[in-house]
Amino acid sequence: MRLVVDLNRCQGYAQCAFLAPDVFAMHGDESLLYNPQAPDDQHDNVVRAAHACPVRAILLDAMNGSLQAPEASGEQ
Ligand code: SF4
């Protein structure tokens, strides 16, 4: 799946690196490294990470091909 992190928004909270360590990794205190083409078996982890990001910086591939932040909702 395709994803993008808006690094202007990212505050380095590292929730994503905790929830999907195969896709996101912290480099130093605040800079984030990530794989923009996450393997399909990481889909659930990436969605969880996107929902957990406090600043909604993780944009995910949508059905129409655009990249969107996940809906703010309590459902998992
Ligand atoms: S959870 Fe969000 S703010 Fe934190 S490091 Fe990941 S993308 Fe950045």
The domain locations on the chain are 3-66
Residue type, 26: M
Residue for token digits 């949508």? 62
Distance 14 CA to ligand 1 centre (A): 5
Q: Write out pLDDT tens, residues 7-34.
A: 999 998 899 999 999 999 999 877 899 9
Which residue has a Cα nearest atom 8 of ligand 1?
10
pTM score of the predicted model: 0.85
Task: Identify the residues whose C-beta falls under 6 Å from ligand 1.
Answer: 5, 10-16, 24, 32, 53, 55, 57-58
The CATH number of the domain covering residues in 3-66: 3.30.70.20
Q: Which atom of ligand 1 is nearest to the CA of 11?
A: 3
Distance 45 CA to ligand 1 centre (A): 14
What are φ and ψ of residue 16, in 5° steps?
Answer: -65, -40
pLDDT confidence band for 5 (50 / 70 / 90): very high
Give the E-state strand segments of the chain in sequence order: 3-5, 24-27, 31-34, 58-61, 67-68
Closest CA to 49 of 29, 27, 20: 20
